[in-house]
Chains A and B, each alone.
Chain A
Amino acid sequence: MRAKPSLVSSAAQNAAEAKPPLLTVNKVGRIFGSAESGVTALDGIDMAIGKGEFVAIVGPSGCGKSTLLRLLADLDAPTSGAITWTSGQAGQSSVAFQEHRLLPWSSVLDNIMLPATMRRRPNEKDRNRALELASLVGLEAFTKSRPAELSGGMRQRASVARALFPEPDLLLLDEPFGALDALTREKITGDTEEIWLKQRFTALLITHSIAEAVHLADRVFVMSPRPGRVTHVVGIELERPRAPLVGSDQYNALVNDIRAKLQDPDHG
């Protein structure tokens, strides 16, 4: 599972972005309740996500990030605007929800290979892949435990492993590392980047950690409080893998830039 570090130039990334996008979010709005007195969770969201691109969304609590994720996963429909997939039909997505959503009656291993079990009887290959992912997120000693026997952070890691299990067209991660300590979090972020470098799936990460967004994303979307709008898009042109860059001046400059944009949505 672990990729050998390979340096990818930012020029190659730009080339990737130039390809037709995987999907386009066009003036999407989502209002909960009635049109007049409802809560406007999202307003005029425009974004195009390239095939193989890693994008991150940062924004204050309650700004509509999870709402956008549900729209992308086709669990909810926008009240205005549209999400169109370039291929013409919605692709397969895989989600690590904000809550872990593990099956309480299944072991960690069975939970990780649930994406396979949902469709067919899992085979030996599925088991091996689930075992690999379990050790990737540091749960190799807990594959037989049930979720109730895990810590909060361990449950979250199991949930991320499950999201990584299929090879989806679009991977959606909603605050996947929120319950982890700083060091574990940095390690898992680095591991996620390595998997991504190897498999190059399209991914969207929602996070409250700006550093994490800078570590993983090609582009960071900054959102404003309700009604949720995208106020800034910051391209991250650092070389990958970025683990060695964490804490460098270049890296910190980007983090600070995004923090300023979050604090003051109107300027940039």
Chain B
Amino acid sequence: MANSQRYLIQATAVIGFFLIWKFYVEFFEVSRLVLPPPEQVFVALFELFATGEIWRHLYITLLECLGGFAFACIFGVTAGMLLGRNQMLDTVFKPFVIALQVTPKVALIPLFILWFGFGLESKIIVSAVLAFFPVFANTYLGARSVDHGLLELFEVGKASRSRRFAKLILPSSLPYILTGMEMAIVLSIIGAVVAEFVAGSSGLGYLATIKLQELQVSSLFAVVIVLALIGFVLYFLVGSLRKVLIPWHESSRPTTI
């Protein structure tokens, strides 16, 4: 399918979606408190930016989720590499990591707030804890999946441990790490927003709760749209790291068969 043709289909689908939304709200006389018509949501969205109200919240949420994402990547890759390549560390720490994964982390939010306060720190930590696991698990899998033949090659060549890591294990794990990061960026946004719901004094999650209390449902929808857009942009940015970092990998090839 040609690109222009594909864009046309996608644009039609989006417009169709809004038309159905509008039609549904008008025809079934849905209360504005349940579902406002699309144009009202757009007006509310415009107002959020026009009054400048949203900028501070947007900035805070971005700061929290990017901070959390960064920590998740640093700790996730480090832990994944250590446990993936070291049998002893794997045996000792695997139970803890699994325990961390199976615990509903959202339930830990009050605890983090108790420990780290109501400020940015607790939000960044919630975001990091949520985003940690996919980075860890994928890095771990990557570190385990290094081709045995290539490991033998480095063994015969008497490569030092650090060189073997830099020249073989890391590049070979990169496709996995990037997959983990793609999953993590989405979770880091969720983490930040949920933490703001619970104990925020700023940020988009906090703004959403305020709009709900004021029963400004259109604005609530607008905030959700902003969050979705942030998600889109960040996910796209992380995803495009693939083309930069692993152009050699199969996943960077267009699918033709």
Interface 0/1 of A133-150, CB less than 8 Å to B: 000000000000010100
> Which of B154, B158, B164 interacts with A92 by CB under 8 Å?
B158
Tell me the residues in window 156-193 of chain B with beta carbons closer than 8 Å to chain A beta carbons. 156-160, 163-164, 167-168, 171-172
- Nearest chain B CB to A155 CB, angstrom units: 13
B156 touches A95 (CB 8 A): yes
Cβ-closest chain A residue relative to B157: A118
Contact partners of B168 in chain A: CB under 8 A: 103
> Which of A73, A118, A119, A148 interacts with B248 by CB under 8 Å?
A148
Contact partners of B153 in chain A: CB under 8 A: 95, 97, 101, 114
User: Chain B interface: which size bin?
Assistant: 20 to 34
A118 touches B163 (CB 8 A): yes
Tell me the residues in window 146-178 of chain A with beta carbons closer than 8 Å to chain B beta carbons. 146, 148, 166
User: Chain A interface: which size bin?
Assistant: 20 to 34
B163 touches A117 (CB 8 A): yes
- At the interface, is chain A mostly helix, strand, loop or mixed? loop
Interface 0/1 of A91-106, CB less than 8 Å to B: 0111101010101110
Contact partners of B150 in chain A: CB under 8 A: 101, 103
> Which of B149, B156, B160, B167 interacts with A99 by CB under 8 Å?
B149
> Which of A95, A103, A114, A166 interacts with B171 by CB under 8 Å?
A103
Whole-angstrom CA separation of A103 from B166 in the bound complex: 13
Interface check B39, CB cutoff 8 A: no
Whole-angstrom CA separation of A166 from B153 in the bound complex: 13
B248 touches A104 (CB 8 A): yes
Contact partners of B158 in chain A: CB under 8 A: 92, 118-119
- Nearest chain B CB to A228 CB, angstrom units: 20
Tell me the residues in window 16-36 of chain B with beta carbons closer than 8 Å to chain A beta carbons. none
Whole-angstrom CA separation of A117 from B171 in the bound complex: 14
Contact partners of B160 in chain A: CB under 8 A: 118-119
Whole-angstrom CA separation of A117 from B163 in the bound complex: 8
Interface check A75, CB cutoff 8 A: yes
- Nearest chain B CB to A63 CB, angstrom units: 21
Whole-angstrom CA separation of A118 from B169 in the bound complex: 12
Tell me the residues in window 68-93 of chain A with beta carbons closer than 8 Å to chain B beta carbons. 73-75, 92-93
> Which of A75, A92, A105, A120 interacts with B155 by CB under 8 Å?
A75
Interface check B152, CB cutoff 8 A: yes
- Nearest chain A CB to B140 CB, angstrom units: 20
Contact partners of A117 in chain B: CB under 8 A: 163, 167
B154 touches A118 (CB 8 A): yes
Whole-angstrom CA separation of A148 from B246 in the bound complex: 13
Interface, chain A (partner B; CB < 8 A): 73-75, 92-95, 97, 99, 101, 103-105, 114-115, 117-120, 146, 148, 166
For the complex with contacts A93-B156, A103-B168, A118-B157, 6 further pairs of A-B residues with Cβ separation under 8 Å are A75-B152, A97-B149, A117-B163, A118-B154, A118-B158, A118-B164
Pick 30 A–B contacts, CB within 8 A, sort by A: A73-B156, A74-B156, A75-B152, A75-B155, A75-B156, A92-B158, A95-B156, A97-B152, A97-B153, A99-B149, A101-B147, A101-B153, A103-B150, A103-B168, A104-B249, A105-B171, A105-B172, A105-B246, A105-B248, A114-B153, A114-B157, A115-B157, A117-B167, A118-B160, A118-B167, A119-B160, A119-B163, A120-B163, A146-B248, A166-B157
